[in-house]
Chains A and B, each alone.
Chain A
Amino acid sequence: KQEVTQIPAALSVPEGENLVLNCSFTDSAIYNLQWFRQDPGKGLTSLLLIQSSQREQTSGRLNASLDKSSGRSTLYIAASQPGDSATYLCAVLDQTGANNLFFGTGTRLTVIP
């Protein structure tokens, strides 16, 4: 069974810093990997989707990379802002033929003004 791990569980940084969030998964037979953001008590906002054939995706200050063979992904956030404070979740869609996302437990990010 696919298992997804995110490190660290929580991270606190001063505004303006660049930071990296890590995600690892145990089964490399995936279709894609998505990074999501979740604000307290709210739903998930999709940030980036990386297909299994891709190495990275960029959107604004966010860059996500994927190394499928080693079962790892990173989310890089440049020039962090207080509005980036949220929980970041990664999820993989494996090749079972259905839309069953396996989620990590998330990294809770706090950006201090």
Chain B
Amino acid sequence: KAGVTQTPRYLIKTRGQQVTLSCSPISGHRSVSWYQQTPGQGLQFLFEYFSETQRNKGNFPGRFSGRQFSNSRSEMNVSTLELGDSALYLCASSPQTGGVTEAFFGQGTRLTVV
């Protein structure tokens, strides 16, 4: 059974640009959550999508957005990139939402903003 797939693995962008990251969850999983990991702040929750609906959103500016498609694949978009957006972005896949489910993570996308 394939795991969680995130693409691309690495990205270098310039300040002011926008970027789109992709996450394909484990087959049959309907929940996709996104996290940002930085050395200073650790792992912080961005948002969760379940059945194409955003369920919850962390404390991030509106430049961070996402969506989920009918096949449960999810994309995350960051507009007007800032240097501080440099981070490892991780997505997590779960069968369901808001309960006793286990989260499985992808390998992450390393975003560097220069």
Report which A residues bind B (CB closer than 8 A): 31-32, 34, 36, 41-46, 49, 51, 89, 91, 93, 96-106
The reply to whether B104 and A46 contact each other, CB–CB distance below 8 Å, is yes
Report the bound CA distance from A105 to B92 in whole Å.
Answer: 18
- Chain B nearest CB from A37 CB (Å) reads 11
The reply to whether B103 and A98 contact each other, CB–CB distance below 8 Å, is no
The reply to whether B101 and A42 contact each other, CB–CB distance below 8 Å, is no
The reply to whether B45 and A101 contact each other, CB–CB distance below 8 Å, is yes
Report the bound CA distance from A42 to B102 in whole Å.
Answer: 19
Report the bound CA distance from A101 to B43 in whole Å.
Answer: 9
Contact of A43 among B45, B94, B107 (CB under 8 A): B107
Report the bound CA distance from A105 to B79 in whole Å.
Answer: 27
Question: With contacts A103-B42, A103-B43 known, is A98 near B102, CB below 8 A?
Answer: no
Q: Please, what's the 1-or-0 string for B67-110, where 1 marks a CB less than 8 Å from any CB in chain A? A: 00000000000000000000010101010011111111111101
Report the bound CA distance from A91 to B94 in whole Å.
Answer: 15
The reply to whether A34 and B102 contact each other, CB–CB distance below 8 Å, is yes
Residues of A within 8 A of B50 (CB): 98-99
Question: With contacts A98-B55, A99-B92, A100-B48 known, is A43 near B98, CB below 8 A?
Answer: no
Residues of A within 8 A of B98 (CB): 31, 96-99
Report the bound CA distance from A36 to B16 in whole Å.
Answer: 34
Report the bound CA distance from A77 to B84 in whole Å.
Answer: 36
- Chain B nearest CB from A80 CB (Å) reads 23
Q: Is B24 an interface residue (CB 8 A)?
A: no
The reply to whether A49 and B102 contact each other, CB–CB distance below 8 Å, is yes
Question: With contacts A98-B55, A101-B33 known, is A43 near B106, CB below 8 A?
Answer: yes
Q: Which 6 A-B pairs have the closest CB atoms?
A: A98-B56, A44-B105, A103-B43, A97-B98, A43-B107, A98-B55
Report the bound CA distance from A99 to B31 in whole Å.
Answer: 8
